[in-house]
Amino acid sequence: MANNLTSALDKKLVLGEDSKDPSSDAKGGSKDDKSLVVCFGEMLIDFVPTVGGVSLAEAPAFKKAPGGAPANVAVGVSRLGGSSGFIGKVGDDEFGYMLADILKQNNVNNSGVRFDPSARTALAFVTLRADGEREFLFFRNPSADMLLRESELDINLIQQARIFHYGSISLIDEPCRSTHLAAMRIAKKSGCILSYDPNLRLPLWPSEEAARKGIMSIWDQADIIKISEDEITFLTGGDDPYDDNVVLTKLFHPNLKLLVVTEGSEGCRYYTQKFRGRVAGVKVKPVDTTGAGDAFVSGVLNSIASDLSLFQNEQGLREALLFANACGALTVTERGAIPAMPTREAVLRCLAQVADKK
């Protein structure tokens, strides 16, 4: 596996002033790039307590960190040596420009980023309390990410993608919902593989029923879906997330190429048209679980983007999922999502250490 996955990281800068030219040599923007992963959705500022295990009210201070699951995935793919781009909207403010620059610094094509002069960049306060529950407080009334319009889509960037990846938060409000659906149509028509991580954030939805309905409204269009145990329970109305029959009868659909169920440190389960199984997790000492799922998705998508035969090759898929498990594991050993996304070399070292212990 190490031989298949090893490559030097591309250190070229992403964009110049003429970054909107789709034929530019910007990383993730070249017409010759056949393995581009384009991520669509929200990018925001997470404020996390400077100490762990406290509620938001108890936190003595907060540290700002770039966040938003689709943006995390885009950075994760690039950090692994892959090619990625991001499409979304931020405020025409200091935080918005900071986020666009972070994408550029991480070799993500940011030509699809738009700036809204009338709305602020979204903010989220997030903590992991002592009881293990995550607590969120969002400031988006509305925030810029909710206001992306179809006319603002970077269609050229979408059409260049091999994989088009998105979540469900961009389905909550208009006009972003219609823009999201339009982007999916463009991607599908262009022959892209559609990748979906629902990334359930209940506080953002009007109700549980609205969340369930909204998330499932585009379910059957995805080629790849990544879902957590908790999300299975929520979407199925309380069914056992470990029951293969529940997954296969209620969540697997005829056009799906790959459904992955993540189980945190325990690893993941996979389901395809031809086979299913489980890949054990990589054990580490966790510091901060933020971004672990996004790092996992980055690992999966980066592998598939460079080798579409993985859908039919179970051994190859298992190796790719072990690689993705290691991506997630390494991310929880550091604080924050984007700062903790691992390089390909770090993942391969981690896997070599795991192999040595066996």
pLDDT for 52 equals 82
Amino acid at position 321, single letter: L
pTM: 0.90
203: buried, middle or exposed (CB in 10 Å: 19+, 13-18, 0-12)?
Answer: exposed
Q: Read off the DSSP letter of residue 247.
A: I
**Average pLDDT score over the chain:** 90
pLDDT exceeds 90 at position 209: yes
Tens digits of residue pLDDT in 113-146 = 999 999 999 999 988 788 767 788 999 989 999 9
Q: Identify the CA nearest to 84 among candidates 72, 101, 95.
A: 72
Q: Identify the CA nearest to 289 among candidates 139, 165, 132, 166.
A: 132
pLDDT level of residue 230 (50, 70, 90 thresholds): very high
Rounded to the nearest 5 degrees, what angle is found at the Cα of 239, between the Cα atoms of 233 and 241?
A: 60
Tens digits of residue pLDDT in 277-316 = 999 999 998 888 889 999 999 999 999 999 999 999 999 9
pLDDT exceeds 70 at position 192: yes
CA distance 113 to 320: 30
CA distance 79 to 337: 12
pLDDT for 132 equals 65
pLDDT for 185 equals 98
Which two tokens mark 262? Answer: 């993540």
Tens digits of residue pLDDT in 324-356 = 999 999 999 987 889 999 999 999 999 999 888
Which two tokens mark 31? Answer: 């017409």
Q: Which residues pair with 195 in a beta bridge?
A: 165, 224
pLDDT exceeds 80 at position 18: no
CA distance 69 to 83: 17
Q: 302-313 burial, b for 16+ CB within 10 Å, e for fewer?
A: bbbbbeeebbeb
Under a CB-based contact definition with an 8 Å cutoff, are residues 182 and 87 in contact?
no
Q: Read off the DSSP letter of residue 219.
A: G
